[in-house]
Homo-oligomer: A and B are copies of this chain.
Amino acid sequence: MRSAVALALEEDLAPLGDLTSSLIPATATGEATFVSRREGVVAGTACALETARQVGGVTALFEAADGARVSAGQVLGTFSGSLRSLLTAERTALNFLCHLSGVATLTAKYVETVREANPHCRVWDTRKTTPGLRALEKAAVRAGGGLNHRGSLSEGVLLKDNHLGEVPIAAAVKEALARWPGRMVEVECDRIDQVSEALEAGATLVLCDNMSPEELASCVALVRAHPRGKARAVLVEASGAMTLATVADYARAGPDLISVGALTHSAPALDIGLDLSCDTAPGHEQPVE
């Protein structure tokens, strides 16, 4: 996180620094409040704090923790101190806050929609994250009430059609269990017979991809009836262009998990602003309209 903030500040300040703030008296101080313009879920407050720390001269304080649900107009926190520093830090802090809160907010919408349809079904993310921000975006998903699928290719096995063109399901699953014991060994299935094959082979997750809710329900039933399903040795995940309009139908089909790429690749930013109230020095009488 520290290096992500350092990189963002470097992007915004190299090589001459903040030209505009240089026009403000070096001794001016102020306080500014982060205000959400919309209802949403907050994420990225640690990045905003770190931005203040790295710029220096600014004290940051957040009332709203990651995961807090906020209403339009609600104050999230404050930056106070050197006015120059505060204005220099503003955009970088906001870029983190708005993007990550956007991810958390969209996640929360999916989570609620799914929970209403099926309280036993959970929403998780994918590896379709913004390059360089995976850790932060996956944390934002958790802030929004979602779970995290694999953090990386290094974390578990997920055999997709592109892999299975080369190796049959049973052989691939067997090899995966032998070489990478203890990990998730998931198989992407387009049809119920593949689910059956994956189950027999020992897969620990079956991913029902691009099925109808009805097909999904059949696959769920198949898994639940199987001895390995009964022994809680295998989970069912659904995926495939989920939208807020369609996800409830899939949830009702009974999978354990639904993955939604949009959480991280298409979440619009949450609109958060920084409202400044300058410290007018005592006795400073100048009329300001």
Contact = CB atoms under 8 A, between A and B. Distances in A.
Given A131-B8, A154-B155, A227-B231, A19 B183 contact: yes
A276 to B, nearest CB: 4
Contacts of A163: 20-21, 23-24, 87
A283 interface: no
Copies of this chain in the oligomer: 6
Interface in A87-133: 87-88, 90-92, 94-96, 98-99, 102, 122, 124, 127-133
Contacts of A150: 182
A11 B276 contact: no
Nearest to A44: B131
Interface stretch (A173-181, A217-225, A246-254): A173-181
A135 interface: yes
B15 A256 contact: no
Contacts of A175: 23
Contacts of A4: 131-132
Contacts of A102: 265-266
Contacts of A235: 181-182
Contact of A16 (B132, B154, B256): B154
Nearest to A274: B162
Nearest to A229: B231
A269 interface: yes
A238 interface: no
A133 B136 CA distance: 14
Contact of A12 (B8, B13, B127, B172): B127
21 contacts: A15-B154, A16-B151, A16-B154, A17-B154, A19-B154, A19-B176, A19-B183, A20-B153, A20-B176, A23-B163, A24-B163, A30-B166, A47-B131, A83-B166, A96-B131, A98-B128, A99-B131, A102-B265, A132-B133, A232-B233, A266-B269
Interface of A: 4-5, 7-8, 11-25, 28, 30, 32, 47, 83, 87-88, 90-92, 94-96, 98-99, 102, 122, 124, 127-135, 138-139, 147-163, 165-168, 171-172, 175-176, 179-184, 186, 202, 204-205, 227-228, 230-233, 235, 256-257, 261-262, 265-266, 268-269, 274, 276, 278, 280, 282, 288-289
